[in-house]
Structure 1
Amino acid sequence: MLDYARLAPGEAFDRVEVEVVFLRMDQAPRRPRAVFPAGAVLSCEPLGVAEYRMLYNEVGAPWLWWLRRMMPDDMLARHLANAAVAFHVLRVDGQVAGFFETDAGYWPNVNLNYFGLMPGFIGKGLGKPLLDAAVDSVFAGGSPLRGMTVNTCSADHPRALPNYVAAGFKEVRRIREEWDIPRRLGLKLPEHLRG
């Protein structure tokens, strides 16, 4: 467990058991580049701590994204300034619709750290092109990339794993993890994870 994510002594928490699935893509899929519907614009841009937290919290709340909520601001600011990390924000008619974060710090592999849509934009046909764009952003460079990795878990959207597989990722392994999620974060546990 990361030091910053440890519970304080006596802190109230909910324990959940999740199955984590690790996936990998070794080469770019053979398909046309990602195409978004009219009004949708994807941009690679630097993010400040407050903007990142808004994206992370809004997109991730239904899926128990909690680790970065625990990360201190100074540590998060260093992460956001890391040249190996890239942030792509999707806007539809000017409204933030989702984002993805890639990390080339594992070179020659690149990890898709986070990927998701704002709750109001789920089910509107944006997930596939956003995932395709994430893959395109990694494989478009032409440098000697070994592969792209991502993981998902049983706390994620039920379509997450099938969508990663449909995009060309292959399952590498599965593990079970127990998460102690501090109640102070105010996250609502999905019913299927309640013990």
Structure 2
Amino acid sequence: MSLDGYTAVPPTHVATVVTYLEMREPPPLRTGDRLPLAPIGAEIARYRSLYGAVGAPWLWFGRARMGDNALAGILGDPDVEALALTEDGRDIGLLELDWRRPGEAELAYFGLVPEAVGRGLGRRLVDEALRRAFARPIGRFWVHTCTLDHPGAVAFYRRSGFRAYARAIEVTPDPRLTGDLPRDAAGQIPLLAD
């Protein structure tokens, strides 16, 4: 069986290559001022607003497809921490850590609003994620990213100390067609069916 070639994707769907990365011990962290992070807790509207501001340009849909009760169940879990990076009273970054699997932590969601990208905040925010993740007794910290995310995401995570260990292809209904995201989200990804 050959794995080479193309696979058709229905016009109502999108496809992406997912890269999984991990680290088994924390890398040396830079010192300096800590970022102003605010717990989001059970503030579903705040979480959804920030998730959309960070993720809509990249077609993030996981939490957008989730109902409020399911999302509240995750955010209310004591082994999940959702934090907002704030600047001048405005949420500009999202950091969500998940320790629900024994012995490991997942960097579940991580990103900045578009106007905050390129200012060094991502580097400082990932350092904070590393501090928090390894503050608990874990043997593995992992994250996944995909070709729908920022083009520099894999390189950024590798520079941060993560090592790529697996890839997968995800095919899913286009969230702009299901109504989970606005039709004008992620304009760099063509909308094929109306």
Task: Mark yes or no: TM-score above 0.5.
Answer: yes
Q: In which range does the TM-score fall when normalised by the shorter chain?
A: 0.7 to 0.9
Higher helix share: 1
Aligned counterpart, 2:60: 65
- Calculate the aligned-residue CA RMSD, in Å: 2.1
Q: Which moved more, 1:67-76 or 1:44-53?
A: 44-53
Aligned counterpart, 2:69: 74
Kept after mapping to 1: 8 A contact 2:16/2:170:
yes
Structure 2 unpaired stretches of 5+:
1-10
Distance 1:93 1:189, change over 3 A: closer
Equivalent residue of 1:175, what SS? strand
In 2, Cα distance between equivalents of 1:111 and 1:163: 16
Aligned counterpart, 1:131: 126
Q: How does 1:1-195 map onto structure 2 within 5 Å?
A: 14-33=12-31, 35-36=33-34, 40-141=35-136, 143=137, 145-182=138-175, 183=177, 184=179, 185-187=181-183, 188-191=185-188
Q: Following TM superposition, by how much is the alpha carbon of 1:118 offset from its aligned partner in structure 2, in angstroms?
A: 1.3
Equivalent residue of 2:71, what SS? helix
Kept after mapping to 2: 8 A contact 1:25/1:168:
yes
Deviations 1:71-105 (A, max 9, x none): 11111111111111001211123221101100000
TM-score normalized with structure 2 length? 0.84
Distance 1:19 1:193, change over 3 A: farther
Q: Which moved more, 1:179-188 or 1:98-107?
A: 179-188
Kept after mapping to 2: 8 A contact 1:100/1:134:
yes
Q: Following TM superposition, by how much is the alpha carbon of 1:42 offset from its aligned partner in structure 2, in angstroms?
A: 2.0
Kept after mapping to 2: 8 A contact 1:155/1:193:
no
In 2, Cα distance between equivalents of 1:34 and 1:75: 37
Equivalent residue of 1:105, what SS? coil
In 1, Cα distance between equivalents of 2:55 and 2:190: 16
TM-score normalized with structure 1 length? 0.83
